[in-house]
Amino acid sequence: MNIIQVIILAIVEGLTEFLPVSSTGHMVITSSLMGISKDEFVKLFEIVIQLGAILAVVVLYFKRFVRSVDFYIKLIIGVIPAVILGLLLKKHIDKLLENPLVVAVAFVLGGIILLFVDDWFNKPTVMEEKQISRLTALKIGFFQCLAMIPGVSRSAASIVGGMSQKLSRTAAAEFSFFLAVPTMFGATIKDLWDFHKHNTLTDAQMHQDVQYLLIGSVIAFIVALLAIKSFITFLEKKGFKLFGIYRIIAGIVIIILYFTGNALHTA
């Protein structure tokens, strides 16, 4: 990776982390288009900058994070399924991350669901986070696990999961944001530790990698700050259909590129 690639990936992450379009899928495709080899550092980078983007949630919704202990209990309950399945399936997940075709198929299937989700779940009774029960938080956590398949979108899976439990679009989106914080914090800590254990880099290379991680995280954080509120406003007015159309078109384009040329590469 070079600094230009770092900046591009960080911008892509910040823009897409909170949209139901899969930030991981977009980074996989962007990396492939730029010819970035999927080594251990690149995989680590893509996880760490996701945490950078998600920390924007803590800044924008700071009052929610200091309001009550029950808030944290629900987040812990909601993240348990991802922790368990993530530990059990990590090797398989890493292999899927290397395959743009998996992303493309998930884009299309997820897009089809988003075309209809507003009509399926159009009678919400839960309008804000404090109305969410602990059992509902656990159910949403299981939906979030679908995002272990690259291209599904953690945001889309957890928002649809929330709406299926009668959360409004806004309540589901915001709880999805909140649930991302412990999820990505845990994933980042684990990946940093694994990378440290198997590290064989020189001091100079390590210094450069740390710089890339810091630069990427800061850029993703700033871009995400700008993206979150815009997404909520759009969601309240327009719903998910446009995102569904985008996903389907993007998925079809990726599939065509994959089977007709060398624009996309697996590592």
Q: Which residue has the tokens 């928002």?
A: 159
Q: Domain residues for 187?
A: 3-260
In a domain, 54, yes or no: yes
**Average pLDDT score over residue span 120-128:** 89
Tell whether the torsion through CA atoms of 116, 81, 193 and 60 is positive or negative: positive
**pLDDT value, residue 219:** 94
pTM, entire model: 0.81
In a domain, 133, yes or no: yes
Ranges 59-68, 99-108, 191-200: which has the least confidence: 191-200
The first and second tokens of residue 262, run together, are 């060398």
Dist CA 124 CA 163 (whole Å) = 7
176-185, 200-209, 257-266 — which one is most confidently predicted on average? 176-185
Annotate 124-152 with three-state secondary structure.
Answer: CCECCHHHCCHHHHHHHHHHHHHHHCCCC
Arithmetic mean of pLDDT over the chain: 84
**pLDDT value, residue 267:** 42
- Domain count across the chain: 1
In a domain, 267, yes or no: no
In a domain, 266, yes or no: no
Q: Which residues fall within 8 angstroms of residue 158, CB to CB, at 6 or more apart?
A: 140, 143, 144, 147, 172, 175, 176, 179, 180
Asked if 126 contacts 132 with a C-beta cutoff of 8 angstroms, the reply is yes
Phi-psi region of 121 (alpha: psi -120 to 50; beta: other; left: phi over 0): beta
In a domain, 265, yes or no: no
Tell whether the torsion through CA atoms of 226, 159, 129 and 221 is positive or negative: negative
In a domain, 171, yes or no: yes
In a domain, 37, yes or no: yes
Closest CA to 75 of 182, 170, 161, 168: 182
Tell whether the torsion through CA atoms of 232, 236, 239 and 242 is positive or negative: negative
In a domain, 77, yes or no: yes
**pLDDT value, residue 263:** 56
**pLDDT value, residue 152:** 86
